[in-house]
């Protein structure tokens, strides 16, 4: 048991090197011996099983049964039955291909969102995928990190770990590096770290003892694999809509079956027509189309630096009306650089020409940080918070490496930074004395210092802040005896102020444009930062976030406001400075109570409550802690505010495309139903004048070619140019709002109408000609109608050519139509006649007439102000 062993025993057992870590050769050998640090996924369904599951739908089973019945009753009609089976199999194959594409997209996103681990390799602290950790690796963890694997603690400073995921213990556990004697249950092994648990406070180094299936989490892997994939609310809603429409269609099919019998059609032919009509008319493909469109869309978003961790977030993005953004690294370039130095009693100095007297101040800042900068080959690699690595870089530029400084001033204790204190303290040995170095926000440091010219330092702080600099202050305290059991209340008082540094993190050039775009789209940007209010206000004004009539507020003022007061005045504030994590949650809740959909950015462990409270939690992919990433629904791989606005744009576009898919599929289905129903009704009213305009095989063909291909093409279409000129979609808005249901109905009537007209014209010559013209017109009108649906605006412009997939589906559909009509063997199977040029022109004209109708309606909408 590693928890019973001393540190030396653990090092020996795992052949670990605390100083240099493992080298590449050792890692390769151990990966070969132990495998990768990952839990194998449950056994996937075989290709054959997944293929057979494509036939589980009740309507598909009925269709196959009808084919069997047909061939048993009338063996000479085997061709129809064979075609039915062929189409069903092709549909199943397409279903498998679509499922595979969607799954590959989601698997790729899982890999991109996989956690990282910090380990010591070749003497440097490096960040690697957690799956590459091996036994004997020296793990480095700090607040916010998800622990990559089980490990024995070697060194711990104020370490607290949330082990609730493993033990159920809700309170973070204090950790130590001391060996335990005797047997201990898992929850009491306080010198061990366990995979999938989170560090909530402090930092530590530990030797990895087990990986993958040998972890404590690995031992219960089977329980973790029982989680089932769930549909998004939109998918469930569309599934319900599909079923409701399906029931209505079945009723219509039964009526059609009865009318076909009354008109003199044989029982078998009437039965096949009714079943084929049911399968063609019921939108059973809706859920599949939505699943594939969502999966492929989130993969496209990932390429644009936004990893969607949950599919419902895609639906919510389009409704976002408030974006609460952190400043550092999100609105700014995340290139923190120390540019000004103030040593107490001196003037503010530029870093480039600061006096040697200021070097000590810079070195103390470096000692009081957990950031590191390593030289790996020719590359300089910074690990840690950008603010801290900027401090380390300032010393490095003056010729002082952190490794040498740590050797000269060995650290023996620390008080880790937390957002409540806004300070961090380290305790080091200084030539026989003991030195405490504390850094933090100027206001909190000033309050803890003695013999301070408060007016002077406040003046310096204000001057730096007005230059949009982030200011950090530093104080020290000496002890004659080594302090034990250090606490903030006892130690972070009576300190001597030493100086301040001013850092600049310039605003990202593209953010101002993104803020303006968001404003035009009805999305308001709110800045939330830990910086001084003067700095925050200056940057917010430069970016267009803080406008005339809007206010900035400090966290202290916010604390004095009740929830009712905040709700009443929330719309007045665009900038929040010096905020604590609980303030973020209050801000989110107040906006949500106003009925707004809120996106919130965050990177720290204490940001996770706000990320969970927001409708869209956006974690930083570069600087974000694992806790923040776990709580978020979206991860920004570039930590850029602009990516959020792009994601909102994409979210609106994805929702638009899904609506277009539904509009196309349902209007096409209604057109098919009305074609058969209308002809059957007319045959009763005018006996002998009308027969069924379409055979079962025709309806199956339509279902396979002119429904499916354009639907997927529409789902992959580009986001419309004006999507960010619309207000956000109300989160309570129905899917068929703004007259979509009525649009679907009249477009279905239009498609059914032109098909019946084609049949009526051709039927004057002969029934086969009429049936052929109806078939061509139905297919043609649906292919053409997919272009009507592709945009809310007129399609008669250059945007007509911006969806190559749609043109591909048109080309494929036309090509296949021509083949089955011109090749005699195929036209015999489909019972189609060759048409004269005039008849072709009539079919083409009727198909294209749907464009004229839709363009007129769009023009009316434009004139009346409707979308």
Pick from 832, 691, 834, 675: nearest CA to 83:
832
**Cβ neighbours of residue 711 closer than 8 Å, sequence gap 6 or more:** 285, 289, 661, 664, 665, 786
Q: Judging by beta carbons within 10 Å of its beta carbon (0-12, 13-18, 19+), is residue 425 exposed, middle or buried?
A: buried
Q: What are the residue numbers of the active site?
A: 326
Sign of the CA dihedral 658, 775, 97, 92? Answer: positive
Provide the 3-class DSSP secondary structure of residue 440.
strand
Q: Find out whether 466 and 411 touch, Cβ atoms under 8 Å.
A: no
Q: Find out whether 336 and 390 touch, Cβ atoms under 8 Å.
A: yes
> What distances in angstroms separate CA 551 from CA 533, 570, 575, 588, 812, one per listed residue?
11, 10, 7, 17, 58
Q: What angle do CA 520, 522, 527 make, to 5 degrees?
A: 95
Pick from 223, 229, 221, 210: nearest CA to 40:
221
Pick from 335, 231, 326: nearest CA to 644:
326
**Cβ neighbours of residue 288 closer than 8 Å, sequence gap 6 or more:** 95, 98
Long-range pairs, 2-6, Cβ under 8 A, ≥24:
2/152, 2/192, 2/209, 3/152, 3/179, 3/180, 3/184, 3/189, 3/191, 3/192, 4/179, 4/180, 4/181, 4/182, 5/152, 5/179, 6/179
Q: Find out whether 380 and 350 touch, Cβ atoms under 8 Å.
A: no
What letter does residue 562 receive in the DSSP assignment? -
Question: Looking at the DSSP assignment, which residues form a beta bridge with residue 83?
Answer: none
Provide the 3-class DSSP secondary structure of residue 744.
helix
| Beta strands 573-577 and 551-554, pairing class | parallel
Biggest alpha carbon–alpha carbon distance for the chain? 113
Provide the 3-class DSSP secondary structure of residue 580.
coil
CA pair distance 668, 671, nearest whole angstrom: 5
584: part of which helix (H) or strand (E)? helix 581-593
Pick from 543, 522, 573: nearest CA to 724:
522
Q: Is 738 left (phi over 0), alpha (psi -120 to 50) or beta?
A: left
CA dihedral 438, 444, 445, 451 (to 10 degrees): -150
| Beta strands 322-326 and 524-528, pairing class | parallel
> What distances in angstroms separate CA 502 from CA 467, 471, 636, one per listed residue?
9, 5, 27
What letter does residue 769 receive in the DSSP assignment? H
Q: Judging by beta carbons within 10 Å of its beta carbon (0-12, 13-18, 19+), is residue 75 exposed, middle or buried?
A: exposed
Helix/strand/coil (H, E, C) string of 351-418? HHHCCHHHHHHHHHHHHCCCCEEEEECCEEEEECCHHHHHHHHHHHHCCCCHHHHHHHCCEEEEEEEE
Residue 582's CB is within 10 A of a number of other CB atoms, namely 16
> What distances in angstroms separate CA 234 from CA 231, 632, 861, one per listed residue?
8, 20, 27
Give exposure, 526-544, as e/b (b: 16+ Cβ within 10 Å). bbbbbbbbbbbbbbbbebb
Q: What angle do CA 834, 836, 840 make, to 5 degrees?
A: 90
What letter does residue 305 receive in the DSSP assignment? T
Helix/strand/coil (H, E, C) string of 445-492? HHHCEECCCHHHHHHHHHHHHHCCCEEEEEEEEEECCCCCCCCHHHHC
């Amino acid at each position: 048991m590693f928890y019973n062993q001393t540190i030396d025993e653990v090092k020996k057992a795992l052949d670990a090197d605390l100083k240099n870590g493992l080298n590449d050769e050792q890692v390769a050998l151990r990966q070969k011996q132990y495998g990768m640090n990952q839990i194998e996924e449950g056994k996937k369904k075989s290709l054959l099983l997944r293929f057979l599951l494509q036939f589980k739908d009740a309507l598909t089973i009925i269709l196959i049964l009808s084919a069997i019945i047909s061939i048993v009753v009338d063996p000479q009609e085997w061709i129809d039955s064979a075609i039915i089976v062929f189409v069903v199999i092709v549909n199943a194959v397409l279903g498998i291909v679509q499922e595979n594409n969607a799954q590959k997209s989601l698997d790729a996103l899982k890999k991109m969102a996989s956690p990282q681990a910090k380990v010591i390799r070749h003497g440097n602290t490096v960040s690697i995928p957690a799956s590459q950790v091996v036994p004997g690796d020296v793990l480095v963890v700090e607040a916010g990190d998800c622990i990559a694997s089980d490990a024995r603690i070697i060194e711990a400073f104020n370490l607290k770990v949330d082990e609730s995921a493993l033990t159920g213990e809700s309170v973070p556990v204090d950790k130590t590096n001391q060996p335990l004697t005797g047997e201990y249950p898992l929850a009491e092994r306080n010198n061990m770290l366990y995979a999938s648990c989170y560090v909530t406070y402090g930092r530590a180094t530990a030797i990895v003892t087990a990986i993958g299936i040998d972890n404590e989490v690995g031992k219960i892997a089977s329980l973790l694999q029982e989680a089932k994939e769930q549909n998004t609310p939109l998918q469930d809603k569309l599934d319900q809509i599909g079923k409701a429409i399906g029931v209505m269609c079945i009723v219509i099919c039964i009526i059609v079956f009865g009318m076909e019998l009354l008109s003199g059609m044989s029982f078998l032919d009437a039965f096949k027509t009714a079943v084929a009509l049911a399968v063609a008319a019921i939108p059973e493909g809706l859920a599949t189309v939505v699943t594939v469109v969502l999966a492929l869309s989130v993969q496209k978003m990932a390429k644009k630096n936004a990893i969607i961790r949950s599919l419902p977030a895609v639906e919510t993005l389009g409704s976002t009306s408030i974006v609460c953004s952190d400043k550092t690294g999100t609105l700014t370039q995340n290139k923190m650089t120390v540019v000004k130095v103030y040593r107490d009693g001196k003037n503010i100095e530029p870093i480039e020409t600061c006096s040697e007297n200021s070097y000590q101040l810079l070195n103390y800042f470096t000692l009081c940080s957990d950031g590191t900068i390593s030289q790996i080959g020719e590359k300089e690699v910074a690990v840690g918070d950008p603010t801290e690595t900027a401090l380390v870089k300032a010393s490095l530029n003056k010729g002082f490496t952190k490794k040498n400084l740590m050797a000269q001033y060995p650290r023996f204790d620390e008080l880790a930074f937390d957002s409540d204190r806004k300070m961090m303290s380290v305790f080091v040995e200084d030539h026989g004395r003991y030195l405490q170095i504390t850094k933090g926000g100027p206001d909190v440091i000033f309050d803890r210092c003695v013999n301070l010219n408060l007016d002077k330092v406040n003046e310096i702080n204000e001057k730096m802040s007005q230059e949009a600099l982030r200011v950090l202050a530093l104080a020290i305290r000496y002890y004659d005896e080594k302090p034990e059991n250090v606490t903030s209340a006892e130690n972070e008082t009576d300190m001597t102020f030493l100086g301040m540094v001013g850092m600049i993190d310039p605003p990202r050039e593209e953010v101002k444009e993104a803020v303006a775009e968001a404003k035009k789209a009805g999305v308001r940007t709110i800045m939330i930062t830990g910086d001084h209010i003067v700095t925050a206000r200056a940057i917010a004004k430069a970016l267009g976030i803080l406008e005339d009539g809007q206010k900035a507020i400090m966290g202290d003022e916010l604390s004095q406001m009740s929830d009712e007061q905040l709700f009443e005045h929330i719309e007045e504030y665009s900038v929040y400075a010096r905020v604590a994590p609980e303030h973020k949650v209050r801000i989110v809740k107040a906006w949500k109570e106003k009925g707004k959909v809120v996106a919130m950015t965050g990177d720290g462990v204490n940001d996770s409550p706000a990320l969970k409270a927001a409708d869209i939690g956006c974690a930083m992919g570069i600087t974000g802690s694992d806790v923040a990433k776990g709580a978020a629904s979206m991860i920004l791989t570039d930590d850029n505010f602009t990516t959020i606005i792009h994601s909102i744009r994409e979210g609106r576009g994805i929702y638009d495309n899904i609506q277009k898919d539904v509009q196309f599929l349902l209007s096409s289905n209604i057109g098919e139903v009305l074609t058969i129903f209308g002809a059957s009704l007319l045959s009763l009213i005018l006996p002998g004048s009308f027969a069924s305009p379409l055979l079962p095989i025709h309806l199956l063909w339509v279902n396979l070619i002119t429904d499916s291909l354009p639907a997927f093409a529409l789902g992959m279409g580009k986001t419309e140019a004006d999507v960010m000129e619309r207000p956000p979609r109300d989160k309570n808005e129905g899917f068929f709002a703004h007259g979509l249901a009525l649009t679907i109905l009249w477009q279905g009537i239009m498609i059914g109408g032109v098909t019946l007209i084609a049949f009526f014209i051709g039927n004057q010559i002969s029934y086969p000609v009429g049936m052929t013209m109806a078939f061509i017109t139905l297919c043609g009108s649906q292919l053409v109608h997919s272009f009507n649906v592709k945009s809310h605006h007129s399609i008669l412009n250059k945007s007509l050519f911006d969806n190559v997939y749609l043109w591909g589906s048109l080309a494929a559909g036309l090509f296949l139509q021509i083949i089955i009509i011109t090749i005699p063997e195929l036209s015999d199977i489909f019972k189609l006649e060759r048409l004269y040029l005039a008849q072709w022109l009539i079919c083409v004209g009727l198909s294209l007439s749907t464009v004229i109708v839709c363009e007129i309606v769009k023009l009316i909408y434009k004139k009346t102000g409707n979308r």
